[in-house]
Amino acid sequence: MSKIGRRKIIIPEGVSLENINGIIKARGSKGELSIQIPPNIEVKISPNSAQVIRKKDDKQTKSLHGLTNRLIENMIIGVSEGFQKKLDFKGVGFKAEVSGNKLVLNVGFSHPVEIIAPEGIEIKVEKNIITVSGIDKQKVGQVAANIRAVKPVEPYKGKGIKYIDEIPRRKPGKAAKAIVGSV
């Protein structure tokens, strides 16, 4: 049996979880999220915890058991605390600014790059740190990945956009040739 699927999901105070016709809804102080539960998975909800149970033991259901458990846990964390990803950018003349729900990046191209934040995602810029936050873990991660993909860190000078905890691979440049004295 799946180790992750077997774990009980603890429901913190201030969060409500309900099952309505195979759709699990989580409500908390930050907002509301919902997911569709696969047909061979059952979720039993008690006042302080929830348990994900599979009805069949076929390969497909086994693979969905742990996934469903983690999706529900992520919904609970999202509506109570939220998620955030931080990105760092480095480079001469690199700038980022937020106007409305748009992030405008000037990262060495001939034009500024605009990234529109989807609904439920908030982007902030402080000095050279871009913070992407929201209640949906998948959306937060996808928006952060889209921002990083605009200008990934190049290996020679380290210029570009990276996650705050990412350690980019650095390569040594060309070795300086020895200057040979003339005769």
Taking alpha carbons only, the member of 82, 92, 75 closest to residue 30 is: 82
For residue 182, pLDDT beyond 60: no
What residue spans define the domains of the chain?
Answer: 3-80, 83-163
For 3-80, which CATH class? alpha beta
Residue 149 CA to residue 11 CA, distance in Å, equals 36
113 alpha-carbon distance from chain centroid: 21
Asked if domains 3-80 and 83-163 share a fold, the reply is: yes
Task: Characterize the bridge pairing of strands 102-106 and 113-116.
Answer: antiparallel
110-121 pLDDT, tens per residue? 999 999 999 999
Amino acid 180: pLDDT: 59
74-108 pLDDT, tens per residue? 999 999 999 999 999 999 999 999 998 999 999 99
**Better-predicted residue by pLDDT, 175 or 58:** 58
Across the chain, mean pLDDT equals: 92
Amino acid 5: pLDDT: 87
User: Across the strands, what pairs with 108?
Assistant: none
80 alpha-carbon distance from chain centroid: 16
Topology (CATH) of 83-163:
Outer Surface Protein A; domain 3 (3.90.930)
Amino acid 4: pLDDT: 86
Amino acid 178: pLDDT: 55
Helix axes 59-80, 137-150, angle to 10 degrees: 90
Amino acid 65: pLDDT: 93
Amino acid 181: pLDDT: 57
For residue 47, pLDDT beyond 60: yes
